[in-house]
Structure 1
């Protein structure tokens, strides 16, 4: 059976993200069973313990609180593959034991015997453990603080010794407790022991090479009650480099308490809640003579109370130390005395001043005095302390009216002014002159600045905020968790800025030139309200001035719409986080984003990815020789034929999709498919999506063409009929109609309408008009009788309708005139549809015409109906005129 222990630390920033829809915590463990057995296995008596192999040979054996005995545990080691070098057998109520019970444990180098009710130790009890380097005897009943307690049972090979939790007040003889002597342990480097009030580390420690002493009372079941540290408490620990005095109820420290600790590098005085800042001047005085690097002076005030002030005298002597890191967390600091920052040691590189109560003061303008500081933590408390803790904390012994005077020579005004003059970025304020506000100066060496969750409320609107010095080195800036609801101004002079955190700032608007840091690589804008601004075309280009940006986080911004050009200038962008929004149509132009490899779209409403997006991701991956990743968890991905291309691409790139096994798909019938359903069905989807669209389109086009031809043919064949019917309809409903005269049978204006070609005009004038009108007939000649201004077609139809007969003079020129053809066909239609009983069309063949020149309609008409042929013969001509007269009058 494989056991996996996972320890999760949830930072407070993570808790703030609970406003998101979901909180994902994904662990992926890819270990085969055979390999897992090699790493972790059940072992020990009755397989009650657990063994873990490391370095391929060494084994760590965990038998804590497993109800096993020491002898049987050591005896079982021979059955374990590998050499057991670490044995943890605490919490088994072992009691006292002898040397022989370690038979089989000879190879152990680290031994944990804590919490086992041990009251005494035989002198040679660990004789068989010749390589023992770490021994843990904490939380037992050993009388190690009695006079005469012998430590000869501890092997001289031990380098780390833990003996906390063995103090039970006064001994049986009512003698004052004392620290045991470990002088024979020449290799001992770390000592973890209880802190006894008023007890000094005696002369026996002077010859030891201890580098780390821990008397902290913060460890569970440990004990430390050192209320006062005198000049003799640690005077013999000259080799100590790390001294932990946290949680020891310290109230007072003498000025010479640490003078003899010449090698001291780390001093922890945290969680001494009645210590306050008053003894800090004594601490700093003693640290002048050490090699101090780290000072933890946090939590030296109770949680509840009014704000405190840090004076110059408190840190005056720190100016003369080698301090590199200082921690002042949770000390209720509200103000720092003006010019106090000048006394900061030049060696200081990292400062922790978190969870205090800072208010504005001139000290903020003097940050430039911290000339060596590279990292500064100024986070504020973003939570309320539980009132139940009030009664559990010690009484607050400090007064806010404590004196600010001191004999420290460095805090004299002339000295402060001299120190400030050596640093051009350090401002000195003369107490006799009113403070003149200036642009704040940051430490010139500052690289990282953390100032998140301080509820600082500002609107940076249309203002240039200058940061000095101009050539600063600030590369990491975190101002998340404040209230910058509108940022439209500039923050200039940040040439090295690579990271900026603007998360959780209630930001609704960002100016087009606000984000103007050319070297910026990581921009965190999650959990804001930028959705409306990004949907505005006037605000869509706020990222255009970030040519080197690689990571952009816009998670949880209420984004519904993104314009295609929003990110087109971010050519070096690699990671785009748009998770926890409400994006439905993800249609960005990512073609310019040649380095984009990760798109986080989890918890949106995305149905598909466009072809240009997946194509660009593939191209980027190939060019950069690395894989791309997309996160589409908790999106309603469409599963249907319309999305077939993307679904097939998704199936072939499953390994590129984060958390693919938790994906779900929405089919066309609204049913939900899991990732497993998707894998089983995707192969069959293309078959169901086969369509006959092309065939249907071709058939439809063919039918349309066929019908067009048929209809066109019918229309062409009946074109004259349609023209005639159209005109008659028009005339019937819109034209003028004469009232019929019931007293006469025929009501025609003309006896005949003469239809002829223009080239036969002489024949009409010289022969037709004189002969027919001389016989008393009325003729309609278009050149003479058509109404000017009327449409030609209207004149023709009116002439046909107003004439008893239409005389068509056929000649070769007749067929060259479209109007002659029109007149013939309209007269033909008139005969067929209006005068079929007596006809109105009379054809005169003026000259011989080849049949090939005639239309099918004319040939058919001549074939069925008689016509009159003109001749110039004298007798024939007389007969022609007689036939023509009779044809008109009948």
Structure 2
């Protein structure tokens, strides 16, 4: 169908040229025909007139268009020098007889597509040696069996283009393409062969042996091709530069089925079915699918991967829009002469769900399209042979997890010459910073329609980067490092960035980014059409970006002052809170600190508690001014009453911190005796000993009272600090001044208390 359109464009183009430089003339008995005289030829356009009979033309007419009429028989009354004849779309035309074209020896182009042909007799084209272009496509009643008649007639012709599309019924059974169909073409100069839409399931492997060496393009699209032995003899197509194998196993939906074309062989043809043709394939020499499979096992499938020999001149391979669901594993593609001319691979719109590879032998490929394949994973080895790749399309897949986990850029490591990369429509949420670290030649990067919230990648090594498409993502802003990288590229390269349809933020946090956009708006595609979202969720238009920046600067300046004040207040509040907590629990903290400093204190303490014994019966805390009160009764207390007392002036270990000595003394004494006087409250270390004894009582002795308070005189109550008032409210104390006349009862009572 594509070639038909090309022919029409060719004809229309010529007509248009003639109308400008030529002159209209009368060339046919049908007045409605449009006749145009050129410098070397005369065109008669009678298409679309619903003619049932062919009109007569003047002898100098060389190009005739009779398409889309109702002509029932092949016209035999045309000028003998006609070179181009178009009969496409004549649905009443049923056959071409042997002598119908005998007088048209100068005929070069013949189109008989979209007719109702059911028979072409052998010998119909045998006298048309100058024919170069023949199109009999879309005549499904002919079937492929007609090819023997046609190719036999063309073996001595100048045929260059042969279009044989849709000669089989759409809903017929699958067929094999036999070598006898084309063996007569081996000595022709055929360059283009199309056998698309014929339900071909496989080719007899000899087909590629008998095709002419001049063949440059072959179209086998829209068939039912599967795996077969023919795949291993593709190298015999030595001159083929383009192979079209698209739309394999496609689903066709039509309003009605043409039951008349479902027969395996059409009896209306003059020829009997060839040996091996449809209807007698049981006697064919072609291998059955089972034989092909066994052949592949025995010689062509070796090791852990398949090796194919492709045509040595192949430049473009179209293999898109097929219904093949498969993982692309390791395959090797070689040529018999070692040449690497393949430059374009079109593999889009398939179901290649996993790209494992590697594909060996594609070092010369420059363009690779793997888009829309439902692919979820690409191995780090897949691209290792694509050294020369310039353009890679991976759009419309599901590569988010694969790309996001490639933190070191191993997938694209070998693509150092790549210039264009398309990762659009892949649901990517984040791009690792080093994902493209080896792409020094990259010029165009397409990442549109993903789910990117940030865009921060290494691009400093890409001096030729000229276009980045980030449209339709979730990007709010570029961070400072990305802005710097892009700024460096803009100094030497005319780069364009597309950020359309991103939820850009216009807030104090992104003010620097908005200013950057304003400064480099010449590099931002359609900058004036952008919108951004403010902190109150309103939409701001970038066509007045200066006003947006001014408003943000004013708002953010006030906001910054507020932040500074609030921060200072918060610091002050936290400082006061922490200071209050430390002051409230300072003795507890000190106690814990000194307890922790002592080695094995907890073990010793547990042993002490368990045995209910202490080194001292009491630690005596007193001011130096009151030492006589203790020392004069020391003999009585220690010798007569057998009390073990700890005095700081006598029992503290020299060289040890005073605080450590105090904690150790309290910890190793059953009780702490505090001799309270005005001097006591004025002494720092006395107050330290009192508070440490309180902490010991509360936290280390499980709340048991270890303090024994002795009040020397009444004046003590006048100088009590507020911090220890609660002691006198909750703690029992002994008043010494009541026993001043006779202190013996006092000391006896004190001994009892300390021994209890």
> Deviation at 1:443?
0.7
Distance 1:384 1:357, change over 3 A: same
1:557 counterpart (426, 435, 445): 426
CA distances 1:95-147 after superposition (whole Å, capped 9, x unpaired): xxxxxxxxxxxxx9639xxxxxxxxxxxxxxxxxxx6446799xxxx963xxx
1:647 counterpart (497, 514, 521): 514
- Contact 2:460-2:489 at 8 Å conserved across structures: no
CA distances 1:281-329 after superposition (whole Å, capped 9, x unpaired): 2222232332222111112222221112211110111111111111111
Give the equivalent residue in structure 2 for 1:436: 299
Give the equivalent residue in structure 2 for 1:105: none
2:630 is aligned with 1:749: yes
> Deviation at 1:447?
0.9
3-state SS in 2 of match to 1:689: helix
Q: Any unmatched runs of 5+ in structure 1?
A: 1-8, 10-85, 89-107, 112-130, 170-176, 218-222, 408-415, 417-428, 713-721, 752-779, 807-822, 840-890
Give the equivalent residue in structure 2 for 1:181: 57
| TM-score (norm. length: structure 1) | 0.58
2:468 counterpart (586, 599, 611): 599
2:104 is aligned with 1:237: yes
2:88 is aligned with 1:216: yes
3-state SS in 2 of match to 1:351: strand
Kindly report which structure 2 residues correspond to 1:840-879, keeping only aligned pairs within 5 A, or say none: none
CA distances 1:786-825 after superposition (whole Å, capped 9, x unpaired): 5447533677999xx989999xxxxxxxxxxxxxxxx999
> Deviation at 1:348?
0.7
1:501 counterpart (364, 369, 381): 369
Give the equivalent residue in structure 2 for 1:630: 497
Give the equivalent residue in structure 1 for 2:341: 473
Give the equivalent residue in structure 2 for 1:459: 327
Q: Quick one: distance in 1 between partners of 2:627 and 2:230?
A: 122
Q: Quick one: distance in 1 between partners of 2:352 and 2:540?
A: 43
3-state SS in 2 of match to 1:623: coil
Distance 1:611 1:789, change over 3 A: closer
Give the equivalent residue in structure 2 for 1:792: 658
Q: Quick one: distance in 2 between partners of 1:358 and 1:729?
A: 88
- Contact 2:390-2:420 at 8 Å conserved across structures: yes
Distance 1:283 1:658, change over 3 A: farther
2:162 is aligned with 1:162: no
3-state SS in 2 of match to 1:484: strand
Distance 1:330 1:640, change over 3 A: same
2:84 is aligned with 1:193: no
> Deviation at 1:488?
2.3
Give the equivalent residue in structure 2 for 1:610: 479
Distance 1:193 1:565, change over 3 A: same
- Contact 1:134-1:159 at 8 Å conserved across structures: no
Q: Quick one: distance in 1 between partners of 2:559 and 2:617?
A: 57
Q: Quick one: distance in 2 between partners of 1:678 and 1:254?
A: 76
> Deviation at 1:375?
0.8
Distance 1:548 1:345, change over 3 A: same
- Contact 1:449-1:477 at 8 Å conserved across structures: yes
3-state SS in 2 of match to 1:239: coil
- Contact 1:179-1:201 at 8 Å conserved across structures: no
CA distances 1:495-541 after superposition (whole Å, capped 9, x unpaired): 20112222222222222121111111112212222111222257852
Aligned pair count reads 604
Kindly report which structure 2 residues correspond to 1:106-117, keeping only aligned pairs within 5 A, or say none: 110=19
> Deviation at 1:200?
4.2
2:360 counterpart (463, 488, 492): 492
- Contact 1:341-1:366 at 8 Å conserved across structures: yes
CA distances 1:572-630 after superposition (whole Å, capped 9, x unpaired): 12222222221112222222233322222222211112333343334334434xx2222
Distance 1:317 1:838, change over 3 A: same
Kindly report which structure 2 residues correspond to 1:519-534, keeping only aligned pairs within 5 A, or say none: 519-534=388-403
Give the equivalent residue in structure 2 for 1:333: 200
3-state SS in 2 of match to 1:749: helix
> Deviation at 1:726?
7.3
Give the equivalent residue in structure 1 for 2:436: 567
2:123 is aligned with 1:256: yes
2:151 is aligned with 1:284: yes
> Deviation at 1:378?
0.2
> Deviation at 1:671?
2.3
| TM-score (norm. length: structure 2) | 0.68
- Contact 1:274-1:398 at 8 Å conserved across structures: no
Q: Quick one: distance in 1 between partners of 2:319 and 2:589?
A: 92
Query: Alignment RMSD, CA only?
Result: 5.0
3-state SS in 2 of match to 1:326: strand
3-state SS in 2 of match to 1:748: helix
1:365 counterpart (232, 244, 263): 232
- Contact 1:521-1:549 at 8 Å conserved across structures: yes
2:416 is aligned with 1:547: yes
